Amino acid sequence: YISFLRTRPHSSSQSSPILFTPQMSNDLRTEPCPASVDLFYWWISNTLVRLSEPAKLTTWRQENAYKPLQVQPPPENFIAVDGVDCCLILSPSSTVTSSVIDLRDPKIGKMPLPIRSLPMRIIPPRKGGSGGVPIKGTTPTTKQEAITRTFRLFGDDGGAATSKTISFDLDKKLWDSGIGLSAWLVRLLPASGDLGPEIVVRELRERLALREECHIIELGAGTGIVSIVLAALRSTDLASAVHDTCILSTDLPSSMELMSYNIHANSTLYPHFPPTVLPLDWDQELPESVLNIRERGGFDLIAMADVTYNTSSFPALLRTLSSLLALSDHRRQCVAGPDTHEPIALGNGPLVLLAYKERDPGERQLWDMMVRETGVVLECVGKQAGAGGLPVEIWLG
């Protein structure tokens, strides 16, 4: 992941260079990128109009990881009298399209993921001087604390989602498993998608694409990227039979503000049924807003991405999972068999979808615990390259 170690200001004069320190690391920022990578930059306006051509910034290496760098603001002819809001793009490629992370690309994760800064106000210099007037409510030294990334879900002219993250908090950043699961889901839905012969995968595709009613809950949703992708996929032409969709995006209360921002920012992707943001603490009872799903037959899908990093939370997670499973009306689902095309019963209740990236072998005790505590048996149905280290594993059952 490309990120900022030393962050950008909220505003700057057009006559002064922008000073920052880029970083390339894994999703948790605990391991620097081991390879040397060329890094390019360019400017775009707040309305996504390109203000400068891509130019090489540096070749990133571990030995210069803490070196401050500077770039010039956009050319003066783009700066209005009262300034312009613009964003800085950092990418491992000089092609403009590389600023968008294509979730449809099977090779996603092979190169560091690009970023876009939040808008910063570039102010024309005062006559007779080089200073400018900062944005109201900021000082010249105020720094941005968040970044954004843009993801392509489908189509070349539409279907792009943006995700704002605050890179210093675990519940406010993008994790490998969230991106890996999102990429897997995007490639799952097309009829031509080939993600394996497993019947359970075909059943998941049917539930997401064809079922008239679909009720989904995501545990540990963080920035909301998986819920955003699920809602967008339920809004495509492939899901033409959709009449009702309910997606609950849940996490601890500290995640609510950022998750709500991201879901609202991508509302054009799901005009009729946006995800609902809810606080859900696994150590507490299910809130009434979750219990009410019982009246609608329970959940069709329980999704989780990177919820295994804290093994001490497993008992609470499994209690929550058991409570969610108990809300189902146990409708039996069937699909055509792979050879005879005769209906095959898949079992009762919701499907459980888990994206996992191993950080400690002890995390894998969750699978046995899940069988004992909930009766859910998961099978690995896919793998997705992550940003260094082991791949993201997709488990479904």
**286-342: pLDDT as tens digits:** 999 999 999 888 999 999 999 998 999 999 999 999 999 999 855 434 443 444 444
Give the pLDDT of residue 70: 92
Question: How many other CB atoms are there within 10 angstroms of residue 125's CB atom?
Answer: 15
Is the predicted pLDDT of residue 343 greater than 90, yes or no? Answer: no
For residue 207, the one-letter residue type is R
pLDDT in tens, 184-216: 999 887 654 555 557 889 889 888 887 888 999
Return the HEC string of 177-223. HHHHHHHHHHHHCCCCCCCCCCHHHHHHHHHHHCCCEEEEEEECCCC
* For range 164-181, the mean pLDDT: 80
CA distance 134 to 2: 27
Q: Which two tokens stand for residue 261?
A: 């921002």
| Strands 115-117 and 84-91, bridge-based pairing | antiparallel
Q: How are beta strands 120-123 and 11-13 bridged, if at all?
A: parallel
Q: Mutual orientation of helices 365-374 and 314-325 as an angle, nearest 10°?
A: 40
Predicted structure pTM score: 0.87
Q: For the chain, how many helices (H) and strands (E)? A: 7, 21
Dist. CA 375–CA 348, nearest whole Å: 11
Torsion angle of the four alpha carbons 181, 185, 186, 189, in this order, in degrees rounded to the nearest 10 = 170
pLDDT tens figures, 351-391 = 999 999 998 999 999 999 999 999 999 999 999 887 777 89
pLDDT band at 346 (very low <50, low <70, confident <90, very high): very low
Averaged pLDDT for residues 260-266: 94
Percent of the chain with pLDDT over 70: 83
Structure-derived torsion over alpha carbons of residues 186, 391, 281, 300, reported in degrees to the nearest 10: 40
Rounded mean pLDDT of the chain?
84
CA contacts within 13 A on the Cβ side of 150 = 17
pLDDT value at 132 more than 80? no
Question: Looking at residue 126, what is its pLDDT?
Answer: 66
3-state secondary structure of 365: helix
Q: Within 10 Å of residue 96's Cβ, how many Cβ atoms?
A: 15
pLDDT of residue 159: 67
How many residues are present in the chain? 397
**pLDDT computed for residue 4 by the predictor:** 86
User: Which two structure tokens, joined as six digits, stand for 282?
Assistant: 């696994």
One-letter amino acid at 294 equals R
* Contact status, residue 186 vs residue 161, Cβ threshold 8 Å: no
pLDDT in tens, 3-47: 888 666 778 888 889 988 999 988 777 788 888 999 999 999 888
